[in-house]
Amino acid sequence: MHRAKEGSSSDDVQRGKFEEINQTRMQKISRLKRELQLLTTEPPPGIMCWQTEGQMDDLRAHIIGGSGTPFEGGVFLLEIKVPERYPFEPPQIRYLTPIYHPNIDNAGRICHDALKLPPKGAWKPSLNIPTVLTFLQLMMAEPNPDDPLMADISSEFKYNKQLYLDKARKWTQKHAMQKNIGVVESKEDGKKEEKSLSRKRDTPSGQEQPGVGPQEPKRGCV
């Protein structure tokens, strides 16, 4: 009798864990459906986002370089991986299109507080993917050289800004404007565009950091 009670208690614990995991997943799916609908019907200016082959937690996005920036005319492709505990954990975002920027490294990893949990970051469940993409669009126009991922580019930005601007424009012309016919019109076009705009990046040694309106959180990588 005693062993039967112990077995029943263990089953209850396992059942409770399963129900908790299932509830978290349902919250994630419901949240992502709303965000994808918002990105379809009311996308932020210069931004679009779509699913890859029906995978709701594997997204792609385009950010169009802003007018008056060295990225003007470029279309930058991003990869978005949505973790199981979203929105309680931030999305993992990286640039697939090479970009010359103090806060984005050669692997496309991004230094932005909105992509990290407190206390080092500023992610909170009230943020969402459209908002984070808007933050990244703003970061492209206004880099934060005081908390860089690329120290050499940060130094150029602070002490030889014209050189930084010239290099950033050249990278944009080389990598973000090849076969650039503007914003894609469909998911199928997005797949083709992904192949033409992105190139394989060399991932530096060490563990990748996850890699993204309301007031923007402070950007920092310390």
Q: Which of 15, 165, 136 is nearest to 76 (CA)?
A: 136
Specify whether 111 is catalytic. yes
Going by C-beta distance under 8 Å and a sequence separation of 6 or more, which residues neighbour residue 220?
Answer: 111, 113, 120, 144, 147
Which residue of the set 63, 64, 111, 122 is catalytic?
111
Distance CA 212, CA 89 (A): 12
Count other C-beta atoms under 10 Å from residue 123's C-beta: 23
| DSSP sequence for 17-29 | HHHHHHHHHHHHH
Count other C-beta atoms under 10 Å from residue 73's C-beta: 15
CA–CA–CA angle 202, 86, 211 (5° rounding): 20
CA–CA–CA angle 185, 188, 191 (5° rounding): 105
Which positions are annotated as active-site residues?
Answer: 111
